[in-house]
Amino acid sequence: MFKLERRVYPSRKTSGLVIFLSFLLAFFVTGLIFYFLGVNVVQFYSIIGNVFITPVLFLQAVFRSIPIILSSLGLVVAFRMGFWNIGAEGQIYLGMVAATGIVILHVFYDAIPVSLMLIAMGVASFLAGGAWCLIAASLKAKLGVNEVLTTLMLNYIAMLFVDYLVYGPWRDPEGWGFALSIPFPDYATLTFGGHPSVAGITISVAVAALVYVLFKYTKLGFVLSVLGKSSEVAKYAGMSVGRATLLGSLISGGIAGLGGFYVVSGMIGRLRPRASPGYGYTAIIVAMLAQLNPWLILPAGIFFGGLLTAGDALQSLLRLPASTITVFQSVIFLCIVLAEFFMRYKVVLKR
């Protein structure tokens, strides 16, 4: 008879191994699915693998991974404090809105000097993303509303708000009626270092370092970790639970907001509807795959950026629909959930 037994304290080694095995399982299961759909699996995986060994494609993978990495780093903060923020997608959109808003303020009202543009855009998108997350956090702190629902629902509000802006007041007057904002001037785009991914990866590494330092050395980080494990104990220890929740969610949403800043300022150069193909949702998978370790977010994020890049190749070479990659992502997610289970329990043989 097989029986499930609770692990007393899962070691880091077992966790790592279980996650790695589940990751391999995802490749296997995905392969199986596409095999039965009549896809050449070897070719399928070689196209994906090709992305990571071809410099041009790899650069593209890094480029597309930046918003995933940033919002995922935001999620690390939220998840570690036990705040189940599913709203990175919405926070990304708010970040885009704020960054675009600064550009419009500058172009039409001349409110901000050129030299401060990028900094102002970064700060504004951080605050906007943070504020969006703060709505859910204060509803939780004050009224006990479940944050999974609120953050998720706020995503749709944010997305539709962007639609409203670009179809309405923020539509480029010289844009032939397309639903687009004005294009960003050069000094409002993240192009330093030649390729926008250079700026992106610099910001990502810096934010990862900040998140690492937050939890490793700061008082706030410590309070957030205790809160994530047991809010009762946090209260007992005299920690200001409410303030920490608000501060933590501000940081979490803010970092995701930076991801939105990168999307408009580094990737597209203007605001358009549905500018994020679900970066904020992919970020959840990345955060879990990286086991909430800020450094591991970087490679995990690049892997998923690579999948997005491979998606284009799959479409043209194997004539597979764009949603193919979504299937792969979802299988990975399910396997990680399975892994979480096996981290807590082990199967033992009982006679």
Partner 1 sequence: MSVTPLVELRGIVKKFPNVVANDHVDFSLMPGEVHALLGENAAGKTTLMNILYGLYHPDEGEIYVKGKKVKIRSPADSIKLGIGMVHQSFRLIPVHTVWENVVLGLKEAGFILNKKKLAETVKKVCEEYGWNIDPNAKVWQLSVGEKQQVELLKLLIRNVDILILDEPTSVLTPQETKNLFKALRIMAEKGKGIILITHKLEEVFEVGDRVTVMRKGKVVATKPTNEVTAEELANLMIGRPVLFKLEKPEVKKGNVVLEAIGLKAMGDRGVLALDDVNLRVHSGEILGIAGIAGNGQEELVEVLAGMRKAHGGRVFIDGEDVTNKGVKYLIEKGVVYIPPESTRWALVREMRLVENVALKLYRSKDFSSKFTINWRKLFEFSKKLVEEYDIAAHSPSILASALSGGNLQKVVLARELSTTRDGKVPKLILAAYPTKGLDVAATEFVQSLLLKYRSLGSAIIFLSEDLEEIMMLSDRVVVMSRGRIAGEFLPTEKTIEEVGMMMVKDSAA
Which is nearest to 182 in space by CA: 120, 237, 104? 104
Least separation in angstroms between CB 239 and partner 1: 8
Q: Which residues pair with 5 in a beta bridge?
A: 346
Residues 6+ apart with CB under 8 A from 229: 82
Q: Report, in Å, the least distance between residue 339 CB and partner 1.
A: 18
Backbone angles phi, psi at 38, to 5 degrees: 85, 20
DSSP string, 288-318: HHTTT-HHHHHHHHHHHHHHHHHHHHHHHHS
- Please choose, from the candidates 12, 2, 16, 9, the residue with its C-alpha nearest in 3D space to the C-alpha of residue 289: 16
Q: How many residues bind partner 1 (CB under 8 A)?
A: 19
| Min CB(292)–partner 1 separation in Å | 13
For residue 268, give the nearest of 199, 177, 196 by alpha carbon.
Answer: 196
Nearest Cα residue to 292 out of 212, 209, 217: 212
Per-residue interface string for the shown chain with partner 1, residues 146-175, x marking contact by CB under 8 A: ------------------------------
Contact 91, 280 (CB under 8 A): yes
Task: Report residue 120 as tokens.
Answer: 């102002």
Least distance CB 105 / partner 1 (angstroms): 32
Q: Is position 9 an interface residue for partner 1 (rule: CB under 8 A)?
A: yes
Shortest distance, position 82 Cβ to partner 1, whole Å: 12
Shorter beta-carbon distance to partner 1: residue 52 or 222:
222
What minimum distance in Å lies between the beta carbon of 319 and partner 1?
49
Q: Considering only 37-45, 79-87, 138-146, 215-223, which stretch makes contact with partner 1 by CB under 8 A?
A: 215-223
> Which residues lie below 8 Å from residue 1, measured CB to CB, with a gap of 6+?
349, 350, 351
What's the number of CA atoms in the CB half-sphere (13 Å) around residue 186?
A: 2
63 within 8 A of 193, measured Cβ to Cβ? no
Half-sphere exposure (CA, 13 Å, Cβ side) for 141?
17
Using the minimum distance from each CB to partner 1, give the nearer residue, 36 or 217: 217
What is the nearest approach in angstroms of partner 1 to the Cβ of residue 142? 17
Per CB under 8 A, 110 contacts partner 1:
no
DSSP designation for 188 = G
In the window 217-246, what residues touch partner 1 (CB under 8 A)?
A: 217-220, 222, 225-226, 229-230, 232-233, 235-240
Instruction: Please select the residue that binds partner 1; options are 1, 2, 6, 8, rule is CB under 8 A.
Output: 8
Which positions from 20 through 49 interact with partner 1, judged by CB under 8 A?
none
Using the minimum distance from each CB to partner 1, give the nearer residue, 80 or 140. Answer: 80
The CA-atom distances, in angstroms, between 213 and each of 68, 207, 210, 239 are 20, 10, 5, 20
Nearer to partner 1, 9 or 109 (CB): 9
CB of 143 to partner 1, least distance (A): 18
Nearer to partner 1, 142 or 319 (CB): 142
Q: Interface with partner 1 includes 4 (CB under 8 A)?
A: no
The CA-CA-CA angle for residues 69, 160, 61, to 5°, reads 25
Nearer to partner 1, 144 or 173 (CB): 144
CB of 235 to partner 1, least distance (A): 7
Q: Which two tokens stand for residue 69?
A: 């990495």
Residues that bind partner 1 (CB under 8 A): 8-9, 217-220, 222, 225-226, 229-230, 232-233, 235-240
